[in-house]
Amino acid sequence: MTDLLAPLSDEQDLLLITMSGPYVASGKWPTWHFVRQTLDREGLDADELIQSLPRVGRPPGQGMSYGLAWSNRPHFIQDDQQPGLTVAAALHIPDLMPAMAQPFLNVLRALVEIHRAVPLSPDKVVQATFTPEMIRRALPSISDLFMARLIDILDHEPATWGGSRWGSDEEWTRELGREISRYGGLTDLKSYVARVVELMPEPANTVVQAARIGDVQNVHFPAPVVIRDMPRSVTGFNSVPEVPPAPAPQPPTPVYVDESLIKELEDKQGTTQWDVTKLVQLARELNSNFAAENPYSCLVLLRAILDHVPPVLGMPDFKQAASNYKWGQTDGGYARMLRDARALGDDALHRQIGRKPDLLSMDDVPSRRWLIKILRHVIDAL
């Protein structure tokens, strides 16, 4: 699996939730013993799950690669080690957006500007460097908590790989590689991850490989290329008229709520005490705005759906439903994360105009998987 933006399985989601929760709360990744034991209680294997997460580039240990998680020993993580998540994981765990991803993107833009401002000399090499103080001057509102996390983040993001660092944990100086210029102009997390994928080396060509020299049995050769003669006319030219190429297939329209789920809701109308016509309409409008990439409309509609369904679950509001309904371990985590994301709806609805731009993006829209699991419970309860 190499698509960092593709939806994850419930089990993979639970792994990321287990790892990210302590980090968001304290700025420290949990020990692998904690992660293992937590997932063991759900009948899941944490070691298998972290290996199953999507990754681009070369296989671990064989060159540059990047995925949703990192570990100093990816094939054998000891109990006392603290593997972590990368900025890309915030695509699936919105709680990581304010804690890690958005501040990192702000720092990345500042580093691009710092690199561009370094004076050039025709006579000598001028090495660009940066310090925490330079970042604070460029980003006066950056928090001390994030600055304490920054070094760890820089070490695991391709845009800031490499470069020596010296000094104390708080007052350090770090070299800035020329690769940073290739990350200029990025506006959101998806564009950053897309650039990482674009610049990551292709997987190693394993067409011809051997375990050791002379081990002929383990050598794999490519299949021969077959060149077929084209049918020709008596004049020597191809007698088959050219056919214009078929138009390229268009990618499917992205949806937030699966159409099959909406159809199930429609089928419930008339068979239950609840009228679901408004819920169906809200889901369809959410899909339309999700496809059009309208983040404010998506957040408002998502909040409307969550405020609409609690009576079906026997609860007065979604806050009570998230805390008290019998969801199960994984779906309960989704419900609580949607409850906590209510502030995004408040932001979309109530934040007043200011003197500086302060826009929400599609990266701020919670994972569709969370709502789908909630609606599954609603349908079952109708």
* 266, 331: one domain: yes
222 within some domain: no
Does residue 289 sit in the same domain as residue 377? yes
**Where is the domain boundary, 64, 91, 118?**
91
pLDDT of residue 361: 86
> Which alpha helices (H) appear in 45-177, and where do they start and end?
46-52, 96, 102-117, 132-138, 144-154
Residues composing the chain: 382
* Rounded Cα distance, 310 and 374, in Å: 10
What long-range pairs does 147-150 form, CB within 8 A, spacing at least 24?
148/27, 149/27, 149/100, 150/104, 150/107
48 vs 77, 81, 93, CA distance in Å? 11, 16, 20
Residues 377 and 264 in one domain: yes
Tens-binned pLDDT, residue by residue, of the chain (382 aa): 578 988 999 999 999 999 999 998 888 999 999 999 999 999 999 999 999 999 998 766 566 889 999 987 767 899 999 999 999 999 999 889 999 999 999 999 999 999 998 888 888 888 889 999 999 999 998 988 899 999 999 999 999 987 666 776 667 888 888 889 999 988 899 999 999 999 987 765 443 343 343 444 444 444 443 433 434 343 333 444 445 555 555 556 788 999 999 999 999 988 999 999 999 999 999 999 988 889 999 999 999 999 999 999 999 999 999 999 999 888 999 999 999 888 888 888 888 888 887 788 888 899 899 999 999 999 999 9
Asked if residue 208 is part of any domain, the answer here is: no
Hey, is 341 helix, strand or coil?
coil
Q: How many CB atoms lie within 10 A of CB 55?
A: 21
pLDDT confidence of residue 248: 55
Answer yes or no: do 65 and 123 share one domain.
no
pLDDT of residue 244: 53
* pLDDT for position 373: 93
pLDDT (0 to 100) of residue 251 = 56
Res 85: pLDDT: 96
Q: Given 91, 110, 144, which residue is the final one in a domain?
A: 91
The number of domains in the chain is 3
Q: Give the pLDDT score at 5.
A: 87
pLDDT of residue 330: 87
Residue 93 tokens read as: 């765990």
Q: What is the pLDDT of residue 304?
A: 95
Same domain, 87 and 103: no
pLDDT of residue 111: 94
The residue among 66, 91, 116 that closes a domain is: 91
- pLDDT for the residue numbered 276: 93
Give CA–CA dist 60/74, Å, rounded. Answer: 7
Strands 129-130 and 172-175, bridge-based pairing: antiparallel
* Distance between CA atoms of residues 259 and 266, nearest Å: 10
Say what the pLDDT of residue 221 is.
40
Burial class (CB in 10 A: 0-12, 13-18, 19+), 243: exposed
- Starting at the earlier edge strand, list the strands of the sheet with 165-167: 129-130, 172-175, 165-167
Residue 364 inside a domain? The answer is yes
Q: Are residues 54 and 145 in the same domain?
A: no
Domain with 113, as residue range(s), is 96-199
Q: Say if residue 116 is in the same domain as residue 70.
A: no
Long-range contacts from 65-68, C-beta under 8 angstroms, 24+ separation? 65/200, 66/4, 66/158, 66/196, 66/197, 66/200, 67/4, 68/4, 68/16, 68/92
